[in-house]
Structure 1
Amino acid sequence: MKIVRDRLRLAGALTLASGQSLSEVDIAFETYGALSPARDNAILLLHGLTADQHAAGPPWHEKGRAGWWNQAIGPGRAIDTDRFFVICPNVLGSFGGSTGPMSRDPATGRAYGMRFPVITIADMVAAQRQLIAALGIERLHAIVGGCMGGFQAFEWMSRHPECVGSAVVISATARTNTHNTALWSVLRAALMSDPAWNDGDYYDGPSPDAGLGLLAMTGALFWMSREALHEKFGLRTIENRPLRYTLEPEFAIEEFLARVRRNAGAGNLDANALIYLTRAIDYFDLSREYDTVAEALARYTSPLLLVSYATDWRYPSQEMNEIREALEPRSVPVRHEILDSPIGHGAFLYDFNGLEPILRTFLSGDFSGGRGDRPT
């Protein structure tokens, strides 16, 4: 599989939803496979909150991570790189090389830090639209996104439906909910409580690893379901040792969370970027500029696959179903698959077996399977 890592400098300034602008914008991205002569086999893959553009392949450097969706992308896999040209951009404001808080502000020569303007999901899509145009692609075979990537997919469907041949949205809803906004507020407070955060100006000093660790520990509790945690750890002690009656870590779940905390500070995440990305999710509401979700998607007519998980309490199936209900009266080919997995929200990343045949079939052009909810 051919993998290319690249970066595009957008032409001119990017005006943001807030009314502010960025004078210089880079979008880092990776591609997998080859673009067809007709330029009609491109799939735009949109990543979630803590991922980046490295969706497939081995780590790029010593501290790097393997591709976050290796099991889905490659020759003969559900996203078959013998057939498709996959583009995974790093979102605006993130920590994988696209312009964000850790980038140099051309006006000062220093990292933006918290002087970076607030961004939205719509701003991310505006930058991606320029990337796709620069690659000479007028219409994508498909857009695929999960979680925050699903929000971006909805924005594409609303703002650029003429560019979308089909779409797959996993574990995302038409808007964030109050509970998620509350959780993001707690996680941002955890980051900002670390003295090393230094009001966002830590790029020339120690990283706020303590805050990142606390964020990761808390995040693990709502990226995994209650059932998944119980099945994986239960109340087992570390290495099944006898109880010691101590305030030191005693149980396997505590050891797991300690490991999560250590890994969060290993240079894989950027605190400021997480603050900005979670804020972008707070602002996401597909119907904000319209009266209804149906109006927001009024121009979208291409096939759509919605996938939710019965155990995902962050973005529940019943809330995702709002999209199906908005499109069906216009006879748009839409199906909503509700899958069972004990993992919950992160199942599309860590329990891929249930999703694999559905995704493969849809991307191959088979949009059958009936309408409405299809528990499997």
Structure 2
Amino acid sequence: MPAVASSDYVVIGGGIVGAAVSYGLARAGEKVLLLDEGDIAFRAARGNFGNVWVQGKGGTSPAYADLTRRAANDWADFARELEERTGQDLHFRRPGAFYICFSSEELQRRAETMARIDKSATVASPFEVLDRPELAKRLPEIGQDVAGATFCPSDGTANPLHLLRALISGTILLGGRYLPRQAALGLRADGQGVAIDTQAGIVNAGKVVLAAGLGNEKLAPQLGMSAPVRPVRGQIMVTEKIRPFLHFGTNFIRQTLEGGCLFGESSEDAGMDDATTLPVLKETARRAITAFPLLRNARVVRAWGALRIMTRDGVPVYQQSRSCPGAFVLSVHSGVTLAPFHCGAIVEALRAGVLDAGTFEPFSPERFHVQAA
């Protein structure tokens, strides 16, 4: 098979994670090529709410809590720079967000979880616990059957599709190459770097970054790495444009700047099936109407399913190959929130040629081997 392209860095996976790494490499002046399977891929961005979400993350990993909080704090500067460079409005806002609870028991558990995470984290992120009367002062449209919510001012929202477009556009503007409809069929170390088999031919990489979402599970072992990910289906509904009423983010409902409301919070083990199912959509609608009764009269204009990329504990996996030191794998669920990290600190590590233990050891897939043992 003939060689069709080569680059110092090849990033496999044209979703938000891979595009962020590509953008960061191009911004640093590196020669980078982004391979994108195209719209046949199970793009997680299709099911992404666009939450820049802090609260509750890192319940089992203080390192993940800190990583998330730092990335969220970097989002304003990151968005400003990317918007200025590409002219793409990311719709980034950081008014804070509410996690809505439907029972006093749920609210108490949520408050305890938040307090536990806050105690173990080293990066500050304040939160409040609000009963229903206090919540209604801030969200006047909240339903009577809501018990309360936690509120975190560190949370924000962005448009994930605008973000993806801007990252790819920014990569190209900075001299990076983008090859759509080019799936990675196989990988092998060749003494000079990594050879990547595609439909068009071989792509040669000095260093390769696997950011192919669920595809990482098959690709990573070919270079001596591990990507223990699984698909988790979520089903989402979106309404027609209605009057502005929700100026904050929430855990499962948000109103876009255009006026439509997105809602959904289901998590299903459905394999690679990204279809919608009536029972889940009905329950999703019921909870949305319970939270905000005014949605009862809003017409749903679209519903769809999407597959999240999840590790066993929900914490990212970052790994460098021992057998092929120029190969790295990134398996991440929170691509939007962590975008500043992926185009910043990750890129610095790639250029240095090593994932230093101080930052990345908590995110090694070796943690799963320890748990199994």
Greater RCO (CA < 8 Å, at least 6 residues apart): 2
Output the TM-score relative to the length of structure 1.
0.26
Output the TM-score relative to the length of structure 2.
0.27
Return the structure number with greater strand share. Answer: 2
